[in-house]
Chain A
């Protein structure tokens, strides 16, 4: 073509001016929050497919395959019941201890696994990140989605356990759905935040299992929440009530079990649940978005 133009008017411009003149954008610059959310929405099929693919892949090498989705929570419940229900005899204090224990365990597991895997969701996918363009938030969100699918399988098991142990089937059970939705929003935010932290602080991966275990003991999963008031100073016991996981576990216990001991009245639980979901969900999303440019660097 006409490469041999007489005098190139661009010759005197600096690279940045030349780029501005021809409408070039900076490679890998961060989009605005609204534009980022729109792109993320257009990638919803990728998020769903990736979550589903990870679910299938995680069982593909096992002979029993997807049956493990149900067997894993059952085995977990059996082990904890043996230790805390039979050996340590915590079941005296709580009516229907096995249902109480399983509710706490399954709900806690949802957050714990999502957060543990989310912490590594950027670092373990660097190959994919350095090869293809997509909003990086897809990765932690799909981790949460995979765990949500595990949770649904666990809930089927849980409903079985609750019914077998003689709890009545009431309309209040429907409250499980909004409670799990709130917890999912909370988890997505937390997983996003942890994914950004984990991509910068490589030691976090070693530390997370201990943090998760401490959190589990502080969430009244394995024993009656009444113990908080009996053994902790009043101020600390009051603080414990704000623990988001305790809130979500109690919401589900309140919905499913007729006479479970609760740390807070259910009205307060709902308010706390909504508050945590909004705060962590939105905060985590914004925090992750702010780091969008850095994720390829490793």
Chain B
């Protein structure tokens, strides 16, 4: 009895219909999402000359240097609370772009993404200031994630400790440009992993650092998974997907090729990848 009331208040506090018991609660809905990048580079030779530019202004045509890249083409799916979903596909198939759209960081050109709460993208490419010390970067990263200064002060030693950058001496007070690429990636992951998330999007985050750090970060991701409602994981390591996700979506050239239980989707994907 007590357990049941607890469940109901929990669901109600998340802004969902507590009455619909036993029903699956959607956390992310993608409705025919298209994403088109505009790239201002790589025009054919000659198209960038002053004469060509002047001609374009006179004839009012689009510059040929502006190229459109259709990265995601009409993706629709619904993710539910408690699911861990693996996103697989070859390089450039639009996986990372789709994650950014779910996170609301990259607006969809057509279609819409609906989310419950604010999804967080746990990437390894959050740009920080290379001229600053590791410790200051930790503080800055945490503030940018919306923490208060007190929380930041409390968490900073933990984050530095977790990243393990101080294992070879006091590196946390040195500028980040002196770090090896592995150390910098570890620090960035540790900063991003310091926060709790509703919907968690992980982009190749497990591929950073040495074997020891990878074990530690996998452990941390499991913790975050337990706390988060829904997890999306992009990885090329099929083993990781098999271990952590029960459902998988296979994306190829921006189109969903398969969506279902991981075992089936992965089998299909591996057949496709081996055929090439």
Q: Which residues of A contact B (CB under 8 A)?
A: 1-3, 5, 8-10, 14-16, 18-19, 21-29, 42-43, 45-46, 49-50, 53-54, 56-58, 60-61, 125, 127-134, 202, 293-294, 296-298
Contacts and interface: CB of A to CB of B under 8 A. Distances in A.
Given A9-B20, A27-B102, A131-B121, A50 B140 contact: yes
B131 A61 contact: yes
B104 A133 contact: yes
Interface of B: 15-17, 20-32, 37-38, 40, 76, 78, 82, 100-108, 112-116, 118-121, 123, 125-127, 129, 131-132, 136, 139-141, 143-146, 148-149, 175
Contact of A130 (B28, B106, B108): B106
B15 A131 contact: no
B114 A27 contact: yes
Contact of B120 (A22, A58, A133): A133
| 5 interchain residue pairs of minimum CB distance | A28-B104, A127-B127, A19-B114, A15-B31, A27-B104
Contacts of B123: 131
Contact of B26 (A1, A19, A294, A297): A19
Q: Which of A3, A10, A22 has the most CB of B within 10 A?
A: A22
Contact of A5 (B24, B141, B148): B24
A22 B106 contact: no
28 contacts: A5-B22, A8-B24, A14-B31, A15-B30, A18-B114, A22-B26, A23-B16, A24-B26, A24-B28, A27-B112, A27-B115, A28-B101, A46-B140, A50-B144, A56-B132, A57-B131, A60-B131, A61-B131, A125-B127, A127-B126, A130-B106, A131-B121, A131-B123, A131-B127, A132-B144, A132-B145, A133-B120, A296-B107
Given A16-B112, A57-B131, A131-B121, A49 B24 contact: no
A131 B24 CA distance: 30
A127 B16 contact: no
